[in-house]
């Protein structure tokens, strides 16, 4: 059975990172059911990370090798989308700049459909608004101005 070495090594490195934080998190208090302790969050995230890394190791077996090449379209659209957002978020506002950036990044992959892109843009704009504007109170204009 063949494994893709680079993916296995990367997954094992991240698994080691997860094990380190698991070990550190086990040293913190757990608290109780009313007030959780500081150790619950790092332990839970560490277990999730370790599980995801195990999944990556399992998925890395038996995959044919493709030649490594840089595709221009994804690089240009993703970097262009990030640059576009950074240059226009103050002028257009958080939601329009984010929607255009997300659409550009979604169409970096040829298999993207209009429906999945619109659904992704709507969800992430609402989520981003709730997290960054409402919860974190980052002083950005929502719709420009």
How many distinct structural domains can be found in the chain?
A: 2
pLDDT of residue 1 exceeding 90: no
Please report, in angstroms and rounded to a whole number, the separation of the first and last CA atoms in the chain: 59
More confident site: 73 or 118: 118
The rounded distance, in Å, linking the Cα atoms of 30 and 24 is 12
Name the pTM for this structure: 0.53
140: in domain: no
Work out whether the CA dihedral 98, 100, 106, 108 comes out positive or negative. Answer: negative
Confidence of residue 127 (pLDDT cuts 50, 70, 90): very high
Instruction: Tell whether the model's pLDDT for residue 138 goes beyond 70.
Output: yes
**What is the SS3 assignment for 36?**
strand
- Does the residue 143 lie in any domain? no
Co-location of 13 and 51 in the same domain: yes
| pLDDT confidence bin for 8, thresholds 50/70/90 | confident
* Closest C-alpha among 41, 46, 38 to residue 17: 46
Range of the structural domain that residue 99 is part of: 72-135
- Whether 85 and 127 map to the same domain: the answer is yes
Look at residue 5 and give its three-state secondary structure.
helix
d(CA 6, CA 116): 31
pLDDT at 74 (0 to 100): 85
Q: 55 with 76, same domain?
A: no
Position 144 in a domain: no
Instruction: Compute the distance between CA of residue 115 and CA of residue 95 in angstroms, rounded to an integer.
Output: 19
Tens digits of per-residue pLDDT, 33-85? 788 888 888 888 899 988 888 888 887 776 556 666 677 888 888 899 999 98
What pLDDT, in 10s, does the model give residues 87-114?
Answer: 988 889 899 999 999 998 888 888 888 8
- Of the candidates 140, 144, 143, 103, the one whose C-alpha atom is nearest the C-alpha of residue 122 is 103
């Amino acid at each position: 059975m063949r494994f893709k070495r680079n993916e296995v090594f990367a997954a094992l490195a991240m698994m080691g990172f997860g094990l380190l934080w698991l070990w550190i998190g086990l040293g913190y208090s757990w608290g109780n059911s009313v007030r959780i302790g500081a150790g619950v969050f790092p332990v839970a995230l560490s277990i999730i990370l370790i599980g995801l890394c195990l999944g990556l190791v399992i998925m890395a077996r038996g995959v044919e090798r493709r030649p490594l090449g840089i595709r221009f379209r994804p690089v240009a659209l993703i970097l262009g989308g990030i640059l576009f957002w950074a240059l226009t978020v103050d002028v257009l506002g958080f939601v329009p700049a984010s929607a255009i950036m997300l659409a550009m990044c979604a169409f970096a992959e040829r298999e993207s459909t209009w429906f999945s892109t619109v659904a992704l843009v709507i969800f992430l704009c609402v989520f981003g608004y709730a997290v960054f504007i409402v919860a974190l109170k980052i002083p950005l204009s929502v719709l420009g101005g």
